[in-house]
Amino acid sequence: MVLGRRRVAYYYDEDVGSYNYGYDHCMKPFRIRMAHSIITSYGLDKKMSVIRPPRATVQDMTRFHTDDYITYLQRVSPELAEQMPSYNERFLPPLDCPPFDGVYEFCSISAGGSIAGARRINHGESDVVINWAGGLHHAKKGEASGFCYVNDIVLGILELLRYHQRVVYLDIDVHHGDGVEEAFYTTDRVMSVSFHQFGNFFPGTGDIKDVGVERGKYYAVNVPLREGIDDETYAFVFQRVMRNVMESFRPGAVFMQCGTDSLSGDRLGCFNLSMKGHAACVEFMKSFGVPLFCVGGGGYTIRNVARTWAYETSVLLGEPVDSSLPYNDYYDFYGPEYLLDVPASNMTNMNTREQLERICSDINEHLRHVPHAPSVEMHDVPRDWPSDSENDSNSDNEAQADVESKTKRQAYSARRRRTANNRSAVGGEAAAGAANSSGSNFSD
């Protein structure tokens, strides 16, 4: 399905590049500022709605995370962590997730963009949303993991589930998206799909046999790959699996984690994808015409991260860009070639066609157990979660907000009913009630 020009929203907060995990740490939030500089140097910011995300609140974060974990995250500092080592060991793995200055504020930017972007899709204001500061897919309900503190993806998907009956979570990071899969492992409303390196590699999860449990059985799809996979073989397995997923599950929205540690030459990853091979996955998902939310994730060779996310922004906009990088704030990082390109190397591809065929066959068999997505009766869309400012407003403002919200919900529901027979997206009930009925173990 190919649509005309799509409305794109881009969330960016200039403060995000100022946070520092530590001099020797390989996670560098600065890469997001570098990507933004390339995006603006090409003039892509003029082709989309550029929005500074609202900061996520404690109330926002605890719709998934535990109260004690977020309270600790809000208060922790390097000095406090030294004074309270037992608490730090409980919540923050010391090497991967240091208690750096401003960690809570950094998380509030990342999570705020993913929650606000999901609302924008819910309200029909954008067809595509981008939040390169998001994608922190390892964070667990009660602890940090793998450089990730707050799982903005889970929070964004919970918001999408309030309006959409089914959501696909897609992860092309080199590491398994364990935190997101775990959050939705028992529900049939989210199908998580992860393409990742497997075998003696962090986090060690994501076997093809891990398919979910209870009502969520067969709604977790894992594609375990070996090192050195290149563009051609990756596209072969990716397109076969995702075409089958989209046809079987018929989601109302897709939440896509675009971690760039699957690129060739990454400091931690061992895949061999080029920039264009990575972006081809984004282009393929865009072609389904379903609301698409793209977030960042891993990526530790920062000049390649910035290049790729900038290029994928152009792909999502449908705006071709020249391969020669225009001058930007960090131009010297991209020498000596100064090109918008990340080429593949000559490393050996350990993935055979026979192995990939077997993976596709096994996944296809799993998806045969997924019932064809039914037509679901439309319901009025539930009221949005109140913000802190709404909680503090007087009764007159609350009454006016109720009227405006009700009008918006009624208009949205009417539009969804008119187009229900022509779209794969269908309406849903509130995430909390529906998640509980489906057996999910997350809280709101």
Q: Is 123 a catalytic residue?
A: no
Question: For the chain, what is the largest distance between any 2 Cα atoms, rounded to a whole number of angstroms?
Answer: 67
CA dihedral 160, 236, 283, 164 (to 10 degrees): -20
Burial class (CB in 10 A: 0-12, 13-18, 19+), 333: middle
Buried b (16+ CB within 10 A) or exposed e, 78-102: eeebeebeebbeebbeeebbbbbee
Structure tokens, 141: 């309900």
Q: Tokens 């998580």 correspond to what residue?
A: 192
- Give CA–CA dist 222/250, Å, rounded: 18
In whole angstroms, how large is the CA radius of gyration of the chain? 21
Structure tokens at 299: 């990526």
Contact 12, 36 (CB under 8 A): yes
Provide the β-strand partners of residue 196. 224
Contact by Cβ (8 Å): 148, 261: no
Helices (H), 318-439: 353-367, 388-392, 395-419, 431-437
- What are 131's strand-pairing partners? 295
Q: Which residue among the candidates 138, 164, 175, 176 is catalytic per the annotation? A: 138
Write the CA distances from 269 to 147, 175, 234, 259, 401, integer angstroms: 14, 8, 15, 10, 48
* Single-letter code of the amino acid located at 198: F
Eight-class DSSP state of 124: T
SS3 call for 256: strand
CA–CA separation, 310 and 299 (whole Å):
14
Which run of H or E residues covers position 110?
A: helix 103-122
* 94-to-88, 98, 214, 353, 430 alpha-carbon distances in Å: 8, 5, 34, 40, 37
Q: How far apart are CA 326 and CA 322, in angstroms?
A: 9
Residues annotated as part of the active site: 138
